Amino acid sequence: MDFEPATGIMLDADGAPTCFTWRDEVFMAASRPVRWYSRTLWWQYAEQAAVGQGQNLVETEMWRLWAAGHAGRYFFQLRHRMPDNQWEVEKATP
């Protein structure tokens, strides 16, 4: 699937998502979210790489969690895009 935006995101003290809206539906975390960092191939698209921009060019924060909404429970993989602070649903499997 293509990345779809996740909106209305709420985070806990560690920055873990607890609640978000996807496809007009609100989902609540139903397991301990697991954070990991995937890498990005910045040299394929970056316009510049000045000091200070490195981290966001090299890696992306990812979260895995079960979350439940009206439509049921899904296993989500969320992507936290920086520096514009956008959240996307990368995978959602029932």
Which residues in this chain contact other proteins in the complex, by CB under 8 A? Answer: 34-39, 41-44, 46-55, 57-59, 62, 64
**Strand partners of residue 22:** 25
* Smallest separation (angstroms) from other proteins to the CB of 46: 6
Tokens representing residue 29 in the block: 């975390």
* Smallest separation (angstroms) from other proteins to the CB of 48: 5
Q: CA geometry: angle at 47 spanning 46 and 49, to 5°?
A: 75
* Smallest separation (angstroms) from other proteins to the CB of 82: 11
Between 69 and 74, whose beta carbon lies closer to other proteins? 74
Q: CA geometry: angle at 65 spanning 7 and 42, to 5°?
A: 65
